[in-house]
Amino acid sequence: MKEGEITQIILLKFEKTGTIRMSMIDISEKKEITRTATASGRIKLKPGTIRLIKNKQVEKGDVFEIAKVAGMLAVKKTPDAIPHCHQIPITSIKIDFEISDNYIDATVIVKTIAKTGVEIDALCGVATALLTIWDVVKKYEKDEQGQYPGTGICEIKILEKIKGE
Amino acid sequence: MKEGEITQIILLKFEKTGTIRMSMIDISEKKEITRTATASGRIKLKPGTIRLIKNKQVEKGDVFEIAKVAGMLAVKKTPDAIPHCHQIPITSIKIDFEISDNYIDATVIVKTIAKTGVEIDALCGVATALLTIWDVVKKYEKDEQGQYPGTGICEIKILEKIKGE
Amino acid sequence: MKEGEITQIILLKFEKTGTIRMSMIDISEKKEITRTATASGRIKLKPGTIRLIKNKQVEKGDVFEIAKVAGMLAVKKTPDAIPHCHQIPITSIKIDFEISDNYIDATVIVKTIAKTGVEIDALCGVATALLTIWDVVKKYEKDEQGQYPGTGICEIKILEKIKGE
Amino acid sequence: MKEGEITQIILLKFEKTGTIRMSMIDISEKKEITRTATASGRIKLKPGTIRLIKNKQVEKGDVFEIAKVAGMLAVKKTPDAIPHCHQIPITSIKIDFEISDNYIDATVIVKTIAKTGVEIDALCGVATALLTIWDVVKKYEKDEQGQYPGTGICEIKILEKIKGE
Amino acid sequence: MKEGEITQIILLKFEKTGTIRMSMIDISEKKEITRTATASGRIKLKPGTIRLIKNKQVEKGDVFEIAKVAGMLAVKKTPDAIPHCHQIPITSIKIDFEISDNYIDATVIVKTIAKTGVEIDALCGVATALLTIWDVVKKYEKDEQGQYPGTGICEIKILEKIKGE
Amino acid sequence: MKEGEITQIILLKFEKTGTIRMSMIDISEKKEITRTATASGRIKLKPGTIRLIKNKQVEKGDVFEIAKVAGMLAVKKTPDAIPHCHQIPITSIKIDFEISDNYIDATVIVKTIAKTGVEIDALCGVATALLTIWDVVKKYEKDEQGQYPGTGICEIKILEKIKGE
């Protein structure tokens, strides 16, 4: 028995059990209701970088404003980036940052009146806002070898998902 | 003295010290050399979800193939998403996944011959690949209240950045 | 009488008969109803390439999963690519492939509840899915001169368009 | 007192007065009504260029058709380009041009049934249509030094915004 | 032995034979040379529609100009649409149409000086130009039931691929 | 003689004089040199709006930071928006604003080492930065009827185009 034959048997098996071949799932019958999702995440930075951000001395500009803009655009582009995501008409985006001594927390709240939830959209906003912060301060985060031993993004999660008012 | 006046004084101050107003930095004089960046990240999932992925029983399709495609596209779209990123002609993208009992690790290696590095591009690939996994398995990760208490993305970092061959 | 003058006469003529100058047509008054479109198309490949696909031995990955993801994203990006297409909130996308000895058929079903149909969106999904297959297997399709004498995409058509449930 | 400290004081001040930190504003409660916006703008060109356009002798093609297509696509991509813009399902776009001896006027009418207005979308259409004209005729507008002393875009404005039928 | 176990055995098997897991292939070592690709394709239309196109009586505008613009933009967006395609700096795009009694042929020639070929980019241009023609004339192609029995896109192929001058 | 016939005669005429059918022009033979373009433009605003901007009291955030980010992204997306524009690897973008009592001037300097100039890219940056300012302050610019009688964008022009160092 050759390799190709085994694969085909398994494939047929799955086709019968119906576990493969789903594409973007059908939400036609779901109700249009208010849906809100709150996502958050953290970027760990050097205390020196945090100080530059606090003092607005980062060369590329106001870190939070740049990250907020990038995050908003990313929320709206979610169905372009995440294959199975539906196109949702977002009615509101709120992006906030909290700054500590060696990390920054980003929170993104996305709201819509739609047939499906917006948690992935909120997560995309958080991830892009944090990646933008990294990009904007990368000069201060690199060590002498050009590496980023201490920089990292973590704790990306959904704080809350609400259906209805 | 009114509020507006204080702001203007501060603004002028910064303009003189030259810390504001940088846009996309000038890389014209940098050399075109081979540059590689390896980024990685982790998504924590329920053991039950991990089993479905291993058994290829996830309804939306092959989780790793979908995440790999989304990750590749995200690497190439980095300058569209991250405001200060330069447009880099990527010569190679490698995306791999390692599956454990309650998490999946994604690794993205991006290579180019260009005037600036591709670490942010590699990070964008990791973040989008992990967000795509979340989206594809979200049905299995939600609890009865529709929340995601255990799901999370963490440890997004640069493992290595190499300049030259 | 010089060339320019003739043109102006003709132009004026058309402006009066009202046959030029339409932009994206007005669908404001059309009813939001369920609309479904099924498009299909075929890519002709070498029998050897088909065998590699069936045996999952194609170097770039699972051909159908990659094509399905590219097809889904293309359906959603239709109004970005086709100038006169309206932005439609797609509620469902189904993409399937049927594999024969020397060709693959792709079928894309797109569903929405909207003021206008989604047949062009379904066609965009079919075309992009088939072009992605070509790209993924191009290495096996090229002859010794680097040409593609037998590869081709054909029979892209609308199988069915349904208005209402 | 050092520079950084002053900034922080000011920042806190603003946080208390609540003037910072707004992201994409919440339109959830606004009513879905018919909304129309008419924007216009002008590009000043050399009389010789205008003659080439009138005579359809511009090398790159029919200037108005190209500009109309670029303008329509730009209207639909407004929320991708303008950070705070909501995603609006446009129901109609009309783009027209009026040609004078040394300028062309573009008018863009955008219509929707939505929770917020489309004036920025109409302005994006005007700006992109005019920039496309510039690009298509730039060869004829440059002087011997490769400069554009007479070319310019001006009078971009909203002619009318209508709420309701 | 349960279903999941079989799958894992097969998966391991493939991992060892090294046939899975390729992402965007590495072209770093390939030479930057002139590369040209010519693609073509055909759309079958009703004779009545062809007459309207010839007489420039199509309501939405000049069919060939609209299709040419959409085709050019699609060529440039190929790496956004086709996952494994590299970003190529296109140096020239030529799009032409030939009109017969019941079909239109589109030809797209793409040229670059790059490390890899542009045949997929040329095919994307052809497909999008033909889909745009369909969209622009769909009103005249539909039968009384709103179906498209005779409309179809076929013969999408690569006429020639050239490496070097 | 009927309308259609006249058109065909004119069309044939033009085909013979060779004035139609150009697509994205061939720059393969042009030299890769340093190229810089400086574009500027002006937005006229109410004195009250200007004061809010100066005092950083605009609800949606720091007007200049938001406009700068939108402008940078627009420069990079020029070949997506303007059909005949080549894809240029931008090496530097500088965006600055000068604020007067009733208008704001934006200046965008774009630099590249490429086969063709970047003046259209710089103009796209100016237009998008100014449109973003309009969007961010539109609440303060509208009159009681929701119209914008005094708001306008003007004087978009190329200040300088430089070839070589």
**Closest Cα partner for A121 from A38, A64, A41, A26?**
A38
Q: Searching chain A, which residue's CA lies closest to the CA of residue E6?
A: A10
The span from the CA of B44 to the CA of A63, in Å, is: 29
On whether the CB atoms of residues A90 and A38 are closer than 8 A, the answer is no
Q: How confident is the model at residue A164 (pLDDT cuts 50, 70, 90)?
A: confident
Please indicate whether, in this complex, the C-beta atoms of B92 and E28 are within 8 angstroms of each other: yes
Average pLDDT (A106-115) is 98
Cα torsion angle, D111, D117, D121, D122, sign? positive
pLDDT at F21: 56
Chain D closest-CA separation from residue F40 CA (Å): 10
pLDDT at A20: 43
Structure-token match 């998008």, residue found: F128
The chains in contact with chain A, meaning 3 or more Cβ pairs closer than 8 Å, are B, C, D, E, F
**DSSP-based three-state secondary structure for C53:** helix
**Closest Cα partner for F68 from D74, A65, D131, A95?**
A65
Residue A8 has pLDDT above 90, yes or no: no
Average pLDDT (B33-42) is 98
pLDDT at C12: 35
Residue D3 has pLDDT above 60, yes or no: no
Cα torsion angle, B6, B7, B13, B17, sign? positive
Q: In angstroms, what is the C-alpha Rg of chain A?
A: 21
The beta-carbon neighbor of A115 closest among C51, C54, C91 is C91
On whether the CB atoms of residues C104 and C133 are closer than 8 A, the answer is yes
Please indicate whether, in this complex, the C-beta atoms of A26 and C92 are within 8 angstroms of each other: yes
Q: pLDDT of B132-152, one tens digit each?
A: 999 999 999 999 999 999 999
Q: Which residues of chain E have pLDDT under 70?
A: 1-21, 165
On whether the CB atoms of residues C158 and C123 are closer than 8 A, the answer is yes
Q: Is C4 on the interface with D (CB under 8 A)?
A: yes
Q: How confident is the model at residue C164 (pLDDT cuts 50, 70, 90)?
A: confident
Please indicate whether, in this complex, the C-beta atoms of B55 and E3 are within 8 angstroms of each other: yes
pLDDT at D164: 87
Q: Which residues of C touch D72 (CB under 8 A)?
A: 23-24, 83-84
Residue B127 has pLDDT above 70, yes or no: yes
Q: pLDDT of C116-131, one tens digit each?
A: 999 999 999 999 999 9
Q: Is C12 on the interface with F (CB under 8 A)?
A: no
Residue C74 has pLDDT above 60, yes or no: yes
pLDDT at F17: 36
Range 100-129 of E in CB contact (< 8 A) with F: 111-113
The chains in contact with chain F, meaning 3 or more Cβ pairs closer than 8 Å, are A, B, C, D, E
What chain E holds in terms of domains, given with CATH numbers, is 45-163 (3.30.70.640)
Which residues of B are tagged catalytic?
A: 135
Query: Rounded to the nearest 5 degrees, what angle is found at the Cα of D69, between the Cα atoms of D68 and D70?
Result: 90
Interface contacts (D, E; CB < 8 Å): 18
Q: Is E136 on the interface with C (CB under 8 A)?
A: yes
Q: Is D10 on the interface with B (CB under 8 A)?
A: yes
pTM: 0.91
Residue C14 has pLDDT above 60, yes or no: no
Residue A10 has pLDDT above 80, yes or no: no
Q: Which residues of A touch B136 (CB under 8 A)?
A: 84
Residue D153 has pLDDT above 70, yes or no: yes
pLDDT at A12: 35
Q: Is B96 on the interface with E (CB under 8 A)?
A: yes
Distances A119 to A78, A124, B81, E118 between C-alpha atoms, Å: 10, 9, 19, 38
Question: What is the DSSP code (8-state) at residue D59?
Answer: T
pLDDT at D97: 97
What six digits make up the tokens of F49? 């709006």
Q: How confident is the model at residue D21 (pLDDT cuts 50, 70, 90)?
A: low
What are the strands of the beta sheet with F90-99, ordered from one edge? D90-99, D103-114, D33-44, D152-163, F152-163, F33-44, F103-114, F90-99
Cα dihedral C132, C135, C140, C143 in deg (nearest 10): 130
- ipTM of the complex in this document: 0.89
pLDDT at C43: 98
Residue F16 has pLDDT above 60, yes or no: no
Q: How confident is the model at residue A165 (pLDDT cuts 50, 70, 90)?
A: low
Q: pLDDT of E89-100, one tens digit each?
A: 999 999 999 999
CB-facing half-sphere around the CA of C156: CA atoms within 13 A: 31
Kindly state the percentage of chain A with pLDDT values over 70: 86
Distances C55 to B67, C58, C106 between C-alpha atoms, Å: 22, 8, 19
Which residues of E are tagged catalytic?
A: 135
Distances E125 to B31, B95, F78 between C-alpha atoms, Å: 34, 28, 18
Range 39-78 of E in CB contact (< 8 A) with B: none
Q: Is B93 on the interface with E (CB under 8 A)?
A: yes
Chain C closest-CA separation from residue B62 CA (Å): 7
The separation between CA C159 and the C-alpha centre of its own chain, rounded to angstroms, equals: 13
**Closest Cα partner for E76 from C31, C80, C35, F49?**
C80
Q: pLDDT of B1-26, one tens digit each?
A: 333 333 333 333 333 333 345 789 99
Q: Which residues of F touch A66 (CB under 8 A)?
A: 65, 69
Average pLDDT (B25-50) is 97
pLDDT at A7: 37
Query: Among this protein's residues, is F96 annotated catalytic?
Result: no
Q: How confident is the model at residue F6 (pLDDT cuts 50, 70, 90)?
A: very low
Write the secondary structure of E79-124 as one string of H (helix), E (strand) and C (coil): HHHCCCCCCCCEEEEEEEEEECCCEEEEEEEEEEEECCCCHHHHHH
Q: How confident is the model at residue A4 (pLDDT cuts 50, 70, 90)?
A: very low
If you average pLDDT over every residue of chain A, what do you get? 89
Query: Rounded to the nearest 5 degrees, what angle is found at the Cα of B65, between the Cα atoms of B61 and B66?
Result: 65
Q: What are phi and psi of F71, to 5 degrees?
A: -65, -45
On whether the CB atoms of residues C63 and C53 are closer than 8 A, the answer is yes
**DSSP-based three-state secondary structure for F104:** strand
